[in-house]
Every structure is written in structure tokens, then in C-alpha cells.
Amino acid sequence: MKALIFEQFGGPEVLRYAEIPDPSLALGHIIVRTKAIGLNFADVYRRRGNYHLAGKPPYILGYEGAGVVEQVSPEVAHIQVGDRIAFCDVPYANSELVVVPVERAIPVPSDITFEQAAGILLQGMTAHYLINDSYLVKAGDDIVVHAAAGGVGQLLIQLAKSKGARVIGLTSSATKQAAALQAGADVVFGYDTEWAQEVIRFTEENEGASVVYDSVGSTLMESFAAVRTKGTVVFYGMAGGDPPHVDPRMLMDSSKTLTGGDLWNHVTSLANRIERAEALYQALRDGVILMGGVTSFPLRDGAEAHRLIESRQSTGKILLIP
């Protein structure tokens, strides 16, 4: 099979498209021929060596994709060859064939495309738990979304708007501001402004936001400045660097809440994966989620896709197509 591999850590130039042996089928697994693969910033961290990778090179990136079942372990009865399957936490996805544990195999309905499934599950499930589990967004809330033009950011905007919230986006450029507004944000402020004060002025009675979703990390104290007394900051990423230390006395004095967010603490069973996936599929059908701004690259051109996501000039989802 063909796969996008690398043998040493570094920039996008270390990636190459190569022929490698087909994977072997194991008990409790299926083999999926991928039709679309999601690219995420975690892939960049792994390529650089920031995240630990088990085993020896050549390494294969990717954790998210969708395709058609090509082989099924004999004891598996509920999945058949030819079934449409997606996954969002299975390694070595940057290849034509992926071995998927059955407990992570999510059915893809016939009215959902492989591109939609591969493009929405990881970031969509993240947005889903953030607005339902980390903080239950409700009508009338003022919420702030960092990196509002990114894949998770645009989904957060759309899902929060469907709940009746007002959404304030934060972006780093005019192009990204336009993308966040197109996704449905009520207003978007740039990181080059005094955005915490702008947020306060925009909110009801100038009290500040109900919740701030911070995926940047280094902006954590500004996020606290933008949130109201008894408000919540949800910290779920460090795209801009490590967050500063937080003094618990500040939390006590302001009655503000800091909570962390990691998808894999919320998606812990196949039933939960399927439940969240079906909610996202229905949101697509209902037009609650519009997957605009998807950019696709052939898998062989994966290095170019990495250059784009690493440039932080992209908006929306990036897909690799085998």
C-alpha cells in the first residue's frame, strides 16, 4: 500500500509518499481502505517530535479518517466487508489501509460523505463536548471562541449559535475574521486589539462573557479578564504556547472557574462515540453545521498540506485524499 511516512523529525520536507507493506488483520479489528483522512495540528506536533511516538521509523501520522471496510476479523459479526466506517482516534491513518479496532469503528450513513465524516468527527466531537460537558451553553450566554476561524472554532460558533448563544470570535487576520463571521459569529475581534476589553464592552451590561473557550494557552490571563464574575474559562489547547500559572486566590476572589478539556476523557466508549457522531451527522443534515472552507490535498502531497496548516493561514478543515 501507499502511505505518507517520515523517518526523522523535522519540517514538512521529512514527509514522503512511499510503498510499504500492507497491515495485518488482528483479532477484534477491521481493515479500512481510506477515502478521506483528516489533518490536525497534532500531526504537526508528532512530525516535529513534540509528541512521543512509539516504535521505530518509518512513522505514519494521522488519527482520523473514513472509508470502506476491506477485511473483517472472523469473530466480528456486526461489521461486514463493504461497510462505510469512520474513526477519529486510530493511528497510522495517513495510508491507504488502516487497521481499526472494532470499538472505535463509527458507522457512516449513506447520506454522509466520506469527506464529511473524516472532516468533522475529531474536531466536531471536541466542539460537542466543550459546549455540552465542559460548560453547558444555553440561550442568552455570551461566549468567546479563541481561534474562531479554525476547524474547532467554526464548529463551536455554529453549535453555540444553534443553542441561542451570542458568539464573540477572536482571530489573527482579516481573512480569518471574515471566515468566523461567515460561520455565524456575532462579532469578531483581532488579537492585535485590546480584545478582553472589547469583549466586556460587547456583552450585556458590560459584565463580560459567560464562558471563554481558550485553545491558545498563552492568552489564559486575558481570557480571565474577559469573563464575568462567576464565569468560566475552558482551557483545551496550547497553540500559542504554555499557559501562565493561575493563582487560586484569583479564582476565589472572583468566583471564576477554570476547567480543562481533553476529548479522550469525554469519549470513552463506542456507544459514546456513535452518540456524538450521530448528533454531528444530524447537525449536518439540519444545516446547523456547514462545512465551508474545506481544503483537500492528494495524500502524496501531504507535505504541502502540512505547510499550509503550519502557516496558520488556513481556515476550516484540511483533508488528505488517498
Residue 249 has pLDDT above 80, yes or no: yes
Region 261-265 average pLDDT:
90
Contact indicator for 160, 143 with CB cutoff of 8 Å: yes
pTM reported for the whole predicted model: 0.91
Contact indicator for 169, 195 with CB cutoff of 8 Å: no
Q: Across the strands, what pairs with 187?
A: 168
Q: How far apart are CA 95 and CA 54, in angstroms?
A: 18
What are the contacts of 74-82 at 24+ separation with CB within 8 A? 75/27, 75/28, 76/28, 76/29, 76/30, 76/102, 78/102, 79/30, 79/105
End-to-end CA distance of the chain: 10
Give the DSSP letter string of 149-165: TSHHHHHHHHHHHHTT-
Residue with cell 500492507: 22
Q: What percent of the chain has pLDDT over 90?
A: 86
pLDDT in tens, 14-62: 999 999 999 999 999 999 999 999 998 889 989 998 777 878 899 999 9
Q: What are phi and psi of 225, to 5 degrees?
A: -65, -30
Which stretch of 126-140, 180-194, 304-318 has the lowest confidence by average pLDDT?
304-318
Cα distances (Å, whole numbers) of residue 292 to 63, 93, 119, 273, 289? 22, 23, 11, 24, 9
For the sheet with 2-6, list strands across it: 16-19, 2-6, 59-60
Residue 280 has pLDDT above 90, yes or no: yes
Enter the C-alpha cell of residue 238.
Answer: 496550547
Omega before residue 244 within 30° of 0, cis: no
Torsion angle in degrees (nearest 10) through CA of 109, 113, 116, 121 = 30
Spell out the residues 6+ positions from residue 85 whose beta carbon is closer than 8 angstroms to its own: 30, 32, 66, 67, 68, 69, 79, 100, 105, 106, 107, 108
Give the DSSP letter string of 80-108: -TT-EEEESS-S--SBSEEEEEGGG-EE-
Domains of the chain by range and CATH?
2-120+267-321 (3.90.180.10), 139-260 (3.40.50.720)
Strands, DSSP E only, in the chain? 2-6, 16-19, 29-39, 59-60, 64-72, 84-87, 97-101, 106-107, 142-145, 166-171, 187-190, 209-214, 227-235, 257-260, 295-298, 318-321
Residue type, 7: E
Spell out the residues 6+ positions from residue 47 whose beta carbon is closer than 8 angstroms to its own: 6, 9, 10, 11, 12, 14, 15, 61, 306
Residue 242 has pLDDT above 90, yes or no: no
Q: What percent of the chain has pLDDT over 70?
A: 100
